[in-house]
Amino acid sequence: MAKKKLEFEVDVSEGRVALEGEDCIIFDLEGFKAVLLGMWEVFGSGAYTILLTAGKHMGKRLAGNLRGKGFESDRAMVEAFVSSVTEAGWGRIVAENLTGKGLTVKVYNFALYRGERSGGRDCAFIKGVISGFFSALWKKVSCSEIRCILDGDECCEFKVERGSV
Ligand SMILES: [Zn+2]
């Protein structure tokens, strides 16, 4: 098991937490799933689109962030994406078959499917993150989930294709 320690800086007088200079809010996983449960309760299947869109915004932001840290080539950006999302606790992310046409992203042990479920397709969120990240890189991309943990597969697998919408 590869372990790594992250240091959060907590400013108790201001109620502020930072990781590597960036403000954070620490959510425990079950707390975040409770938020998602609320979304599915109110919006039903519409929560899928909300999660997808929210994920896209997050993916775009992450791409901008990593560019700002000096990652440039597609390969470097993909590697940085894999480690940041994995290290943020979403699950074990694996990127495969990176070519000029796109790549495959696999999500093993997806955080939102551990333990209690919200009852919805929460991988819409990580799909959005992947889709938003790669559209920031390549402009037009299509992202489809071709395997899903909820269907009994060992991971959620996303195919990202460049140049088509
Ligand atoms: Zn899935």
Going from N- to C-terminal start, the domains of the chain cover 28-162
Q: Would you state the pLDDT for residue 155?
A: 97
Rounded to two decimals, what is the model's pTM? 0.93
- Please give the distance, rounded to the nearest whole angstrom, from the Cα atom of residue 70 to the centre of ligand 1: 31
Q: Would you state the pLDDT for residue 103?
A: 97
pLDDT at 21 over 90: no
CB 72 within 8 A of CB 84: no
| pLDDT band per the 50, 70, 90 thresholds, residue 137 | very high
- Please give the distance, rounded to the nearest whole angstrom, from the Cα atom of residue 125 to the centre of ligand 1: 10
pLDDT at 100 over 60: yes
- Please give the distance, rounded to the nearest whole angstrom, from the Cα atom of residue 138 to the centre of ligand 1: 23
Q: Would you state the pLDDT for residue 61?
A: 96
CATH architecture classification, 28-162: 2-Layer Sandwich (3.30)
**Measuring CA to CA, how many Å separate 122 from each of 23, 71, 165?**
25, 29, 22
- Please give the distance, rounded to the nearest whole angstrom, from the Cα atom of residue 149 to the centre of ligand 1: 5
- Please give the distance, rounded to the nearest whole angstrom, from the Cα atom of residue 65 to the centre of ligand 1: 26
pLDDT at 70 over 90: yes
